[in-house]
Amino acid sequence: MRRDMDRLVITIHPTPSDEGLLRVSDAMEQVIDALRVFEQAERVLVSPEEYFEWRLERTSAGSPFTVVAAAEPLDATPSYKRLGLRSLALASSMIRSAS
C-alpha cells in the first residue's frame, strides 16, 4: 500500500498457495479492509470539514491486483476558502467580544 498526496495505491499479492491467482473475494475484502483503516485514521486526524472519500481511479485486474483511488473532499469548498471562512468567523467573533 502506498499513499501519495491525494492518491492511494493498494496492491494485493497472491499467497504462494494460490499459485499466482488471487481469489476475487480475498482481493475485494483486502481492498475494503485497507480503505476502512484509512477512513478510521481520517476521522481521528482531520476535522469534519476536511473529510474526503476515495474515488476509484483505476484498477489492474492482473496479479498482483492493484487499485488506485483518488481522494475527493466531501466539502466542495476548497481548503483555502474554508480556512479563510474560519479566519473571518474568528475575527468577527473577536471584534464582537471586544466591543
Q: What is the pTM of this model?
A: 0.64
pLDDT digits (tens, 9 = 90+) for 49-97: 778 888 999 999 878 899 999 888 887 665 555 555 555 556 556 666 6
Long-range residue pairs from 63-67, CB within 8 A, at least 24 positions apart, any chain: 63/13, 63/14, 63/20, 63/21, 63/22, 64/11, 64/12, 64/13, 64/14, 64/22, 65/11, 65/12, 65/22, 65/27, 65/31, 66/9, 66/10, 66/11, 66/12, 67/8, 67/9, 67/10, 67/31
pLDDT tens digits, 1-30: 554 558 889 999 888 887 778 888 888 999
